[in-house]
Amino acid sequence: MDNIKNQKPPDNKTPVKPLNINKQTIALFVMGIIILIILLSLIGIDKIWNAMSKLDVRILLFLIGLQVFIIFLHTLRWAVVLYDKMKNKEISFTSLFLATSVGLFSGNIVPAGSVVSEPIRAYILSKLDNFPMAKSFGSAIINLNLEILPVLLFISIALYFVLADEISPYIALLLIIAAIVVGILSLVSFLSIVDTKRALKIANFLLNLFSKFSFLKERMSGIKNKINSIVSEFHDGAKYGLNLKIFGLGTIISFIIWFFSFLRLYIVFIAIGYNIDIAVFVAVLVVVLIISYIPTLPGGIGIWEVSSIGLYTLLGVPSEYAAAAVIVDRLISYWFVCLFGYFALIIAYKRINLTGR
């Protein structure tokens, strides 16, 4: 996605191309798919298909609609953060929706997608509505931080289930470590928002880090010359997150997003005829969510499926049902989101090219 961030402002004579995916990303993507195919072959594709065939098409369409609603909720949460800007008509909800969809898409096609997607969506918004990039990025970071409390809560719930049902001490240890890491990262993020000097130090550290990559070196050099004004604009965009009403409403929306995301997979299990134990369901989903944040394969492709199916099977779920449910859910939460986001990217770039930004 560095091609998106490093794209020169377009003019009417040289329209911007929607996306160029580098060879390394494609190789990692293919590797993930190969891992997935091997796993499905070991379980038995016929058995998995028999389980998947029990899913009613109407339920599948409902789940796709639910996923679109989840994307809408992601957009709504960002709109809450930027309420004043929307009220003054500096940005539109349509632009936010396109930028959010592209951000989710970019997070699915590169390693460490949760980190990369925020600057990508900020960039798209800045181009669509001529909104300062630093302010856009600041609001995107606040938008991401609104997930901290829900993630910590779900980790706590999963830890309770693991300990109460004596599922596995190793899973319990992983959840405890994850809670500590999330807590530390949220503290660092909060300090960067309230303390300008600390934010400047963090920004310089990141600039030096990214400058080591040849394709980013020139751009990072240009940013260093304007770092003070950029950090100031970042704070202007991020300060809205310090408003308790915005933080509270944004956090509530985050809880709803996670609830529907969990519900989507649970409905799949029920729809294919397997009544999964809620403790096992929550514990595995939270653990796999933590594993997916490790920057390995694009969007966790292969890793997510192997981890989910392996843990569900280990905890007593028949492998064919575990595989069928996970595959169907990933078709919606990963592949459909990729397709949806790519179309959003094409529309966004057409709008950007028309305005000549």
* Whole-model pTM over 0.85: no
* Residue 12, pLDDT above cutoff 50: no
d(C-alpha 215, C-alpha 204), whole Å: 18
Q: Are 186 and 148 in contact (CB under 8 A)?
A: yes
114-165 pLDDT per residue, tens:
666 777 888 888 888 877 766 666 666 677 777 777 878 888 888 887 777 7
More confident residue, 228 or 253: 253
Mean pLDDT score, 234-241: 55
Q: Residue 148 CB: number of other CB atoms within 10 A?
A: 18
Contacts of 187 by beta carbon, 8 Å cutoff, 6+ apart:
none
d(C-alpha 88, C-alpha 80), whole Å: 13
Q: How many domains does the chain have?
A: 1
More confident residue, 25 or 272: 272
What domain range is 245 assigned to? 2-355
Confidence of residue 13 (pLDDT cuts 50, 70, 90): very low
Under DSSP, the state recorded for 356 is T
**H/E run at residue 229:** helix 227-238
Q: Are 238 and 139 in contact (CB under 8 A)?
A: yes
Residue among 294, 323, 310 at smallest CA distance from 168: 310
Positive or negative: CA dihedral 35, 169, 112, 210: negative
Q: Which tokens go with 30? A: 């293919």
Q: Residue 250 CB: number of other CB atoms within 10 A?
A: 25
Which range has the worst mean pLDDT, 95-104, 174-183, 272-281, 296-305? 296-305
SS3 content of the chain, % helix, strand, coil (to 5): 80, 0, 20
More confident residue, 127 or 328: 328
pLDDT of residue 2: 46
Positive or negative: CA dihedral 105, 108, 109, 110: positive
Alpha helices in 82-168 (DSSP H): 83-87, 93-109, 113-128, 133-145, 148-164
Q: Are 158 and 262 in contact (CB under 8 A)?
A: no
Place of tokens 């405890």: 176
Mean pLDDT score, 166-170: 71
Q: Are 265 and 57 in contact (CB under 8 A)?
A: no
Residue among 107, 106, 108, 80 at smallest CA distance from 93: 80
Residue 143, amino acid: N
Residue among 124, 82, 81, 80 at smallest CA distance from 102: 124
Residue 13, amino acid: K
Q: Which tokens go with 218? A: 């020139």
* Residue 73, pLDDT above cutoff 80: yes
Confidence of residue 70 (pLDDT cuts 50, 70, 90): very high
* Residue 51, pLDDT above cutoff 80: yes
Q: Residue 152 CB: number of other CB atoms within 10 A?
A: 15
